[in-house]
Amino acid sequence: MEQGLLLHPPDPTGPNDDDRPAWDSKIQYVLAQVGFSVGLGNVWRFPYLCHQNGGGAFMLLYVFLLLIVGVPLFFMELAAGQSIRQGSIGVWKHISPKLVGIGYSSCVVCFYVALYYNVIIAWSLFYLGNSFQYPLPWEQCPIEVGTNETGMIKECASSSPTQYFWFRKALNITNSIEESGEFNPIMTGCLLAAWAIVSLAMIKGIKSSARVMYFSSVFPYVVLFIFLIRGTLLDGAIDGITYMFYPKLEIWGNVQVWRQAATQVFFALGLGYGSVIAYSSYNPVHNNCHRDALMVSSINFMTSVLASLVVFVVLGFRAKTIALHCVAENLGVLNLMSSNGSSQHWWPSFNVTDPNSVSLPEYRQWYHEHGSTLGQFTDCNLEEEMNKGVEGTGLAFIAFTEVMALFPASPFWSTLFFLMLLNLGLSTMFGTMQGILTPLMDNFKLLGRHRTILTVFSCALGFIIGLLFTQRSGNYFVMMFDDYSATLPLVIVVIFETISVAWVYGTDRFLDDIELMLKWRPPVVYKYLWKYVCLLAMVGLLAASLLRMVFKGPTYTAWNQTAASEMTLEYPGWALAMIVLLIVFASLPVPIGYIHSVLKKRSALDVPPQEGPGPEVHRKLYTKCNSTDQLDSNSHPAPCEEDGVRPRTSFLPVGNEQYRLLPQQEEEEGEEEEEEDTGV
């Protein structure tokens, strides 16, 4: 049965709303929401998707889906959290006890994400610590001293110094997920440090984490602008930006591109985690959450564009450097042939002894006219280098580190970059943990009274389970969790959230409640977006993700030490079972919550009614009447609602509505004629 604050007071098992923490200022709240939604995905996922899916055309598609799906769902979560002033469990339990499982599913997914997200923070700490040395340890291959000869380590010589440092020095990775290997002691220490930072920053709730947000949310923007200014001065920067924005409109006909764009919108805003709801629940009731939704969504998108500019500027410089190095190698071959081949008709007109005097277009023109027929030369294609898309850890810990090693004062730039990654990760981590702690403290009185113990225990548990990721094969488990543990469960959570608001509670009723908060009514278009567009989009995304998983099959990218290269492998049977269990365990609270509520209701109906007023009578002391109804203290009140008709419930009490005492309470307080207006 639906609940509403008009008929039911706050849950007595939860903390008193008067004691609920609140943001010190609006800027503190905005920084927290932006810090949570703007994360590592904006830096290493969005640019890759633009790179692979048509540049400017993908951005247009992203903005379209952001406006019709992302912003409405983000606004819905903000409004629900702010009006009910509870975490994710309390919000959906408030709408209907049958939907309480939605909140628990959000908590489970948040815990999944926190487990592997903090491992990425640990990696950033490791690289940050290694940035305080010159030259940087990933600039050159280490020398191996053999029995007969001295030379570079074969694995490094066959790949690159940055790849070798990442896979061998940082991760010391195995060849597959089936080879677990021992624990990596350095990464275990970094993971402990990462959890210690999170625990200390959140030990006092939003009061302590919000202070950290002032730095962790703003600092990444400072670094991004510094890198953008520095990057535009690099050779090849314009080539990278041109490649990024050149639109390829034909990608709009590809269903997988729509799926990727919708998924990115979904994760960029942090929908379904419960963190948006948790942060919003600490707001004043009349805060303009509609403006917040538009503002945070816009900042998020502009951050993605800014990060993409930085990434493409850097990748453009990297591609140009690789292409010019290719030209120099081919000119070296020509120089060796100069004694015999300089008189041939195919001999180039440019100076082969000075690579700096030969431009890339000049060499490529000669290659296509003559060089390709000789078989000894290679095509130094800038666009081909740009097409080698890099995402995720490969972008941050391989491609970017390679470029920063080419910068003058490389330790400074490396320190700046990994400080930015660290702060991006921490600000998102704070929101993720808040999505776990706030619902638990709101719904369990004991946990609410021991916030510090709960925070420390959660972080300690996260570290212990996180040891799974500090094995030599730990990176493969990070990929597994990132690809499969959150995507499907979160989409399922948001589908049920949308059903709860749009069909169980009702969009008109929800808009009424928002009108009470904002003092104006949001456009009616939200009603149709919530009921149809957003719901169908989420169902479509779920279907597309399931079909892709079934037909393509779960795979992962492994590093082969012998070949010194990456290769795609299929997960073994036990790993597939683990993936299924992760998805099922995160989704299971939704049906369990529904079944538990139904059984609880049936057992309550089976209990014979007791004589006299029971506890439930005291919970429903008031019944709502229209403000035009006259309350006469000398006569018995007539019922405000007809028998058998369920009264309209609401998130918020209506300001000009009156409340009449039920008969048993009127006898105790007969001198009062009207109840004054109440508020949350």
- Contact by Cβ (8 Å): 279, 32: yes
Contacts of 551 (CB under 8 A, 6+ apart): none
| Packed helices 185-202 and 451-466: angle between N→C axes, nearest 10 degrees | 160
Read off φ and ψ for residue 195, nearest 5 degrees.
-70, -35
214-229 core/surface letters (b: 16 or more CB in 10 A; e: else): eebbebbbebbeebbe
How far is 526 from 533, CA to CA, in rounded Å?
10
Contacts of 149 (CB under 8 A, 6+ apart): none
175 is in an annotated binding site: no
Rounded to 5°, angle at Cα 520 from 300 and 102 = 55
424 is in an annotated binding site: yes
CA distances from 393 to 13, 223, 451, 465, 478 (A): 44, 19, 34, 21, 11
- Contact by Cβ (8 Å): 662, 622: yes
* Sequential DSSP letters for 82-123: HHH-S-HHHHHHHH-GGGHHHHHHHHHHHHHHHHHHHHHHHH
Supply the Cα-derived Rg of the chain in whole angstroms.
30
Dihedral, 160, 163, 167, 170 alpha carbons, nearest 10: 110
Residue 161 token pair: 């110094």
- Contact by Cβ (8 Å): 189, 126: no
28-41 core/surface letters (b: 16 or more CB in 10 A; e: else): bbbbbbbbbbbbbb
236 is in an annotated binding site: no
- Contact by Cβ (8 Å): 139, 406: no
How far is 212 from 163, CA to CA, in rounded Å?
33
How far is 227 from 245, CA to CA, in rounded Å?
19
How far is 143 from 42, CA to CA, in rounded Å?
37
Q: Which residue in 486, 477, 487, 492 sits closest to 578, CA to CA? A: 477
300 is in an annotated binding site: yes
How far is 474 from 406, CA to CA, in rounded Å?
30
Q: Which residue in 330, 327, 278 sits closest to 85, CA to CA? A: 278
Contacts of 55 (CB under 8 A, 6+ apart): 243, 244, 245, 246, 247, 248
Contacts of 634 (CB under 8 A, 6+ apart): none
42 is in an annotated binding site: yes
In the beta sheet, which residues pair with residue 152?
143
CB atoms within 10 A of CB 657: 16
Give the long-range contacts of residues 27-32, CB within 8 A, separation 24 or more: 28/210, 28/213, 28/214, 29/279, 29/282, 29/283, 29/292, 30/292, 30/295, 30/296, 31/210, 31/213, 31/214, 31/217, 31/218, 32/206, 32/209, 32/210, 32/213, 32/217, 32/279, 32/430, 32/431
In the beta sheet, which residues pair with residue 658?
625
Residue 618 token pair: 């005291």
Check residue 561 and report its DSSP letter.
Answer: T
User: In 3-state terms, what secondary structure has residue 570?
Assistant: strand
Residue set of the binding site for Na(+): 35, 38, 42, 300, 424
Residue set of the binding site: 35, 38, 42, 300, 424
